[in-house]
Amino acid sequence: MSEPSFEPSPLAPRRTPEEQARDRNRGVGSVVSHQAAHQQFAEEVEYYLSLTPRQLPSRYFYDELGSALFELISRLPWYRITRTERRLLGAHAGDIFARMAPLSTLVELGPGNGEKLATLIAGRSHPGMSVHLVDVSGAALEAATRALTIHTDLVLSAHQASYETGLAEVTREQRTTGRSLVLFLGSNIGNFDPPGADAFLRNVRAALTGGDAVLLGADLVKPERDLLLAYDDPLGVTAAFNRNLLVRANRELGADFDLDGFTHRAVWNADASRIEMHLVSARRQRVRVPAARLDITFEAGEPIWTESSHKYRQNDVHAMLDRAGFGAIEQWVEDGFALTLAEAR
Ligand code: AVJ
């Protein structure tokens, strides 16, 4: 039996010692951070699945499959956030850049596939801005970078980091005199509970200087049946997106979730002004998650709470920004969605 061969192909060019060293070290950082990310996933699953009620954090939705499923969600007729926001960005880009002049730096926290940022940037009046993309997902950074490469006048930096760390990196690197605009779009703010949203916005404010600004996308309260259709769509895409968390736990943590044993549920919690997504155990069943040292018995009907999407009234958005040290300059509203430009005081 012959060994597999790892010799370089005779057609491969000879590499210099420098190139060989670089090849050896390539990806070492990402291997380390991959292990750290796996460890953190295991620890958070252990912690959140042990709470009452049991929970799983929504940020773990976005592995490769989950990100693709979210892109499908954003195209569903019942989920209007992405489409509406993109329309608002296209329609008001000129206005936004005019009000922010002289703008030198754009930062987007969580750019996703970069489409919304590209729509905004297409409406700029002056060339030559620095654009910083901050995301924990390397795949998202690649996609967003690709979406912007046609704009050759931009100086792009990708920060594979948490929002907080990424913002700190941007502030540290900055040597420009113009103003900065931080984008936090898609109603991603809605995944924070109200104290978390306040803390997040205060943190953004702390990274900025008076005259800099934030552009915040926030989904508004609307009739319950519209909200439920957006989070429990007739094609079952959102159900797949939700249950993919269990697929991920099975693959990455060695869990033995029976995918047919959990059903997707979306509920409107009017008191807390949020849609909640749950995965509900269809029967009494035992689940083991070895990497998270868990051995759980779920009761029939017992939920795992996987996401909150808070919905706002127009004034809630103003008040939230005000508490964080921002004064609203303008709010554009369409189809139950608000895009708010607010300046750091
Ligand atoms: C990307 C967090 C804004 O909460 O509406 C879509 C994610 N969850 N369908 C949202 C999501 C279910 C989305 N955010």
Mean pLDDT across the stretch 236-263?
98
231 lines ligand 1 (CB under 6 A): yes
188 lines ligand 1 (CB under 6 A): yes
Q: What percent of the chain has pLDDT over 70?
A: 90
Q: Looking at the DSSP assignment, which residues form a beta bridge with residue 159?
A: 134
Q: Which atom of ligand 1 is nearest to the CA of 74?
A: 6
- Tell how far the Cα of 241 is from the centroid of ligand 1, in angstroms: 10
The three-class DSSP label of residue 278 is strand
- Among 305, 235, 241, CA closest to 65: 241
Residue 14's pLDDT is what? 47
Residue 31's pLDDT is what? 66
Nearest CA to ligand 1 atom 14: 188
Nearest CA to ligand 1 atom 8: 231
pTM confidence score:
0.90
| Alpha carbon 154 to chain centroid, angstroms | 23
Distance separating alpha carbons of residues 133 and 67, to the nearest angstrom: 17
Q: What percent of the chain has pLDDT over 90?
A: 83
309 lines ligand 1 (CB under 6 A): yes
Across 44-48, 174-178, 203-207, least confident range: 174-178
85 lines ligand 1 (CB under 6 A): no
Model confidence at 199, pLDDT cuts 50, 70, 90, reads very high
DSSP state of 133: E
Distance separating alpha carbons of residues 93 and 119, to the nearest angstrom: 8
